[in-house]
A = this chain, B = another copy of it.
Amino acid sequence: MSAIERIGRPAVLKTQRFGYDGKGQATIGRDTAPEAAWGEVGRLPCILEAFVPFAREVSVVATRAHDGTVECFDVTENEHRDHILKISRVPAALPDAAVREAQRIAETIAHRFGYVGVLAVEMFALGDGGLLVNEIAPRVHNSGHWTLDGASVSQFEQHIRAVAGWPLAKPIRHGRVEMINLIGGEVGDYQKWLAVPGAAVHLYGKATVRPGRKMGHVTRVFAD
């Protein structure tokens, strides 16, 4: 209750652990009873976050090596649908200064944690050019899947290079890239995607299709 007084409404109540793709979240609007929202997320330990009027959501996938070297992939712009990442686009439509600042933030976070491996930092890009960190994922990340087809090195190889103590690769992007998640029944479209020039289709081989479940993704690379 006191958190709501401090942060204001609307706000988002999120479980401290195991939340993803909108799971473990409840929105507290003007008239929501706090108890009801807490019930929605199973009365687990939670944090409360204010709503942010952001222009776009972006993420930086960064890799830090044992020796402190950091390599960032190009900043990715993420479009969500029903709380689930639907499309990642690279490069993000940000001014150069914001791109540098986003990568500097990710680099700083990796350094402060003494982190080794790949991590993703999600940020809100505000209308005034500011950036707010929204989430840190200490692992390879859905918004970095485009690197498998769209860059000279993938986030997966970078992670292995980092933890194996190998030199990190300097990622070179092959063009403008779009990564489209196949969610739930959309995976049935894979035959259509197979026929699209420049599209790479990834199916995760999950046995059961469920609404909202990430079943695969498609990467499209376009000449810059």
A: residues with CB less than 8 A from B are 149, 152-153, 161, 166-167, 169-170, 172, 174-175, 191, 194-195, 197-200, 221
Contacts and interface: CB of A to CB of B under 8 A. Distances in A.
B172 A198 contact: yes
A172 B197 contact: yes
Given A161-B194, A167-B194, 12 more contacts: A152-B197, A152-B199, A152-B200, A153-B200, A166-B194, A169-B197, A169-B199, A170-B197, A170-B198, A172-B221, A174-B175, A174-B221
B149 A149 contact: no
A221 B152 contact: yes
A176 to B, nearest CB: 13
Contacts of A174: 174-175, 221
A166 B192 CA distance: 10
Contacts of A166: 191, 194
Nearest to A219: B152
A-B complex: 3 closest residue pairs judged by Cβ atoms: A170-B197, A174-B174, A167-B195
Contacts of A197: 152, 169-170, 172
Contacts of A199: 152, 169
A144 B197 CA distance: 19
Nearest to A154: B200
A222 to B, nearest CB: 9
A222 B129 CA distance: 34
15 contacts: A152-B197, A152-B199, A153-B200, A166-B191, A166-B194, A167-B195, A169-B194, A169-B199, A170-B198, A172-B197, A172-B198, A172-B221, A174-B174, A174-B175, A174-B221
A161 B194 CA distance: 9
A152 B149 contact: yes
A157 to B, nearest CB: 8
A153 B198 CA distance: 8
